[in-house]
Amino acid sequence: MRRRAEVAVVGAGAAGLVAARELLREGHTVSVFEKSGRVGGTWAYSPRADADPLGSDPGAPGAVHSSLYASLRTNLPRELMGFSGFPLAGRAFAGDPRTFPGHREVLAYLDAFAADSGVAPHVRLRAQVLRVRPLCPGRGQGEKWAVAWRGEDGDVAEEAFDAVVVCNGHCSVPLVPKIRGINKWRGKQMHSHNYRTPEPFQDQSVVVVGLGASGIDIAREISHVAKEVHISARYSEGRLGKIELYHNAWMHSEIECIQDDGQVRFAEGSSVAADTILYCTGYRYHFPFLDLDGFTVDDNRVGPLYKHVFPPKHAPNLCFVGLPYKSIIFQALELESKWVAAVLSGRAELPVEEDMTADVEEEYQRMEDAGKPKRHTHTLWPRWVEYLNWVADQVGEAHLEPRKCEMYEKALKCVWSLDEGYRDRWEEESIGSG
């Protein structure tokens, strides 16, 4: 017989919404706790940024969750950004039918998804989860959980659930690298979490650290108003020097230090005087409401977690959806959610605790042998297809369509090309090819 669990979901971003849909489909009872006043998570753009441009204190009053900038368009085509049965492709939700739509379109899609899937009535808005703790500690299916949360009126309540699915997002708390000699830096510093528009960088010389999707977008946008843009990237070999595509931008290797004269020195030996260092260096996993023995975030490795989802000691009643990155994210969220829902009902089975722990340890060992740093634990690249297909197998879902895999790889190459026009050109090319 299928087990029907009472499940708390923390967060109503894309992960929390699809997790709730899959849990409801599987027959579970669901309460989604969302600390903000709406669903959509990171896609709810905020023109306001944190008071501290480095966003050093995620618990500060008024800390902003979303890391979007005003001009942001998706870096994946819309076909790769919808959930099954409710595609984002082929229609417009906020009047922006482009293949790579602006952020408002994705937010409108998520609003519509919450309504269409029947999840919306299960979301408690302005309900911040403060603490998640095991009740009458047991093991496996028997373990229950207490969720303490603060509502709009400021009152704190605690409720018991059979299971908790953590979907609190991981693109909100800035990861800022330590730079040797930063105490000699007299200019400004900011993390991309707090970047909104290019105007404040008018006529400045800006060092942009990091060459991920945001770093590339932001460096390009700033280059239209700034005097000079210097991109500092770890994997920049073969691309050092002036960037052909821009009239005022240069590629450098990692920052080596801040010199005594306050200039930024790069590992390849050049140095520049700059006004601002803008860190586009990614985010930290942060679970301020979780304090569990043996469960840690160490150098951005959340663990131990079996396949990024289940902590062996507390599986299956505590689990995480949405930790891995560098894949077709919406598809990963949906597959992980289906897995969680099926395991909680008993339709899918997990290995015993010892075997899950052994699997995690083997994975850590594989990383170490390959010289992969801990902080890359949840990067799915380059084995992202293997992971998604493995999760699909757990719940009897079809493997990824090769066409979608190719589309994803093509989108990544486009991002890394640094070329401004790839989004619109993609559209023209697909029209051209019929």
Question: Which residues here bind ligand FAD, judged by CB under 6 A?
Answer: 10-16, 33-36, 41-43, 65, 67-68, 72, 74-76, 81, 128-129, 167-169, 171, 214, 289, 322, 329-330
43 versus 306: smaller Cβ distance to ligand FAD: 43
- Among 281, 283, 300, which Cα is nearest to 218's? 281
Contact (Cβ atoms closer than 8 angstroms) between residue 315 and residue 303: no
42 versus 232: smaller Cβ distance to ligand FAD: 42
61 versus 238: smaller Cβ distance to ligand FAD: 61
Shortest Cβ 113–ligand FAD spacing (Å):
12
SS3 208: strand
78 versus 252: smaller Cβ distance to ligand FAD: 78
Shortest Cβ 39–ligand FAD spacing (Å):
7
Q: Which two tokens stand for residue 47?
A: 């023109």
Place of tokens 């299960």: 122
31 versus 141: smaller Cβ distance to ligand FAD: 31
CA dihedral (165, 171, 173, 175) positive or negative: positive
Shortest Cβ 321–ligand FAD spacing (Å):
7
Shortest Cβ 358–ligand FAD spacing (Å):
28
71 versus 202: smaller Cβ distance to ligand FAD: 71
Shortest Cβ 218–ligand FAD spacing (Å):
9
Contact (Cβ atoms closer than 8 angstroms) between residue 411 and residue 76: yes
**If DSSP states are collapsed to H, E and C, what string results for 391-411?**
HHHHCCCCCCCHHHHHHHHHH
106 versus 356: smaller Cβ distance to ligand FAD: 106
Report how far apart, in Å, the C-alpha atoms of 55 and of each of 166, 189, 354, 356, 398 are.
22, 11, 39, 36, 41
Shortest Cβ 127–ligand FAD spacing (Å):
6
Place of tokens 């603490």: 131
Residue 361 to residue 374: CA distance in whole angstroms? 12
Shortest Cβ 349–ligand FAD spacing (Å):
26
Contact (Cβ atoms closer than 8 angstroms) between residue 191 and residue 184: no
Residues 6+ apart with CB under 8 A from 413: none
256 versus 334: smaller Cβ distance to ligand FAD: 334
Shortest Cβ 17–ligand FAD spacing (Å):
7
- Among 215, 29, 261, 25, which Cα is nearest to 122's? 29
Contact (Cβ atoms closer than 8 angstroms) between residue 188 and residue 33: no
Shortest Cβ 381–ligand FAD spacing (Å):
14
Tell me which long-range contacts 373-377 makes (C-beta under 8 A, separation of at least 24). 373/299, 374/298, 374/299, 374/300, 374/301, 375/299, 375/300, 375/301, 377/300, 377/301, 377/302, 377/303
15 versus 222: smaller Cβ distance to ligand FAD: 15
End-to-end alpha carbon distance in the chain: 50
